[in-house]
Amino acid sequence: RRVHGEKHNELMLNIWFQSFFTFDLFSLVVCAFLFFTTFVVFFYLKSLYRMAATNEQNGSFDGSTDAAEALKERANSFFKTGDNEKAIEFYTKAIDLNPTAVAYYSNRSIAYLKIELFGAALNDANKAVELDNSFVKGYYRRAAANMSLGKFRLALRDFELVKKRRPNDKDAQMKYTECNKVVKRQAFEKAIATDDTSKSLLDTLDIESINIDADYISAKLEKDGKITLEFVNQILKEFKDEKRLHKKYVFQILRQIRDMFKTLDSLVSINVPNDSKFTVCGDIHGQFYDLLNIFELNGLPSEDNPYLFNGDFVDRGSFSVEVILILFSLKLLYPNHLYLARGNHETETMNQMYGFEGEVKAKYSSDMALLFTEIYNLLPLAHVINDRVFVTHGGLFSQDGVKLSDIRCLDRNRQPPESGIMCDLLWSDPMESLGRAPSKRGVGIQFGPDITRGFCELNGLDYVIRSHEVK
């Protein structure tokens, strides 16, 4: 029994030691794991706290949502002051930190619209709708971009959706109505269209029978309608006083300028004598007082002081009518010393979107607005100075091998197409990298210095002058 008891006790002791050892090892592993995890979490939270404190002190940001919101607010402040390019820069930074925030794309879209990068605006609006198909502003931005691109049916579809979801939104209702009118008008014009484009509204007007009230004391044309320097100086002064030229004289100016533009090629050659000054001006955009300032600094156009105004005379500014009437009058006065080229804003869609059409209707009539559209179709598309310098509003082409002779014989008497030589001349932009790329405007292309070099070499040119961008 004693022996048996001793062996039994020894066996129980071994079992107890083995159990204790096994349990103790398991506990140690668990405790070590918990300690390590707690250690890692503690230092991770501590590092986040330090980072947040540092960011709060120095204004730098990490990839947090709060940081993205702060960047968006900075972008909004730039947008409110009209600095759209800076706004785009900060909206882009916000998107980099939080690429799923639909409002950032919507906000950047309208900033792109402000600087006429319609393609980029459309892409952002599409992205906003893709991320959240219930985000109404995304559809509104997409409609605005499509409308700017002249895609009125696509725009109408989105405006209709916005109107249904926000029935009390007066702005949405107004945009829907405006777009719907354009779609219906286009359908009507297409239905009654004929191949005869020779008829002009000017030819149906009996301008001579238009009466001028006896109390009209502003500028007057000669009986034969001839433009004189005295008349130009007088309307410059009266437009400064915000007086309006009588519609009879406006019709006479438009008829004369129409007849003059009809005789010109799409590419006009200019000869400038050696050692002579020649001034090229970019976008005026209805800024009458800027035009006056140019004349004050650089002198009025004359036979000794020739000018080329390189498109975008109208839209945006409140005095587009005054600007274009001054330029047309000067062209009639100095046909060989003042030159006018068509810009992308001398088009029907842009005039509807950016104010010129509404301004003409308010100051004169709907018929007058149609006449301006007709005349803009006749504006030359480009100029070449002394066969060495090519001047156009937009830029170069989506294809190689374009010659000056191709431009000269273009049929320009129409609204610009969405692609091709005429479109590129009005819409394209240069870029620093080589080759070609799609344009953020959604129309035309971006072209590199190699494209410019190739065009110049092919046509024996020294360089290209263009406008279209404010830098």
> Which two tokens mark 151?
């895609």
Examine the residue annotation and report whether 345 is marked as an active-site residue of this protein.
yes
Report the alpha-carbon distance of residue 216 to residue 239 in Å, rounded: 15
Choose, from 285, 345, 383, 468, the residue flagged as catalytic.
345
Q: Assign 3-class secondary structure to the chain.
A: CHHHHHHHHHHHHHHHHHHHHHHHHHHHHHHHHHHHHHHHHHHHHHHHHHHHHHHHHHCCCCCCHHHHHHHHHHHHHHHHCCCHHHHHHHHHHHHHHCCCCHHHHHHHHHHHHHCCCHHHHHHHHHHHHHHCCCCHHHHHHHHHHHHHCCCHHHHHHHHHHHHHHCCCCHHHHHHHHHHHHHHHHHHHHHHHCCCCCCCCHHHHCCHHHCCCCCCCCCCCCCCCCCCCHHHHHHHHHHHHCCCCCCHHHHHHHHHHHHHHHHCCCCEEEECCCCCCCCEEECCCCCCHHHHHHHHHHHCCCECCECEEECCCCCCCCCCHHHHHHHHHHHHHHCCCCEEECCCCCCCHHHHHHHCHHHHHHHHCCHHHHHHHHHHHCCCCCEEEECCCEEEECCCCCCCCCCCHHHHHCCCCCCCCCCCCHHHHHHHCEECCCCCEEECCCCCCEEECHHHHHHHHHHHCCCEEEECCCCC
- Which residue, among 79, 136, 77, 145, has the nearest Cα to 109 in the 3D structure? 145
What amino acid positions are annotated as catalytic residues?
345
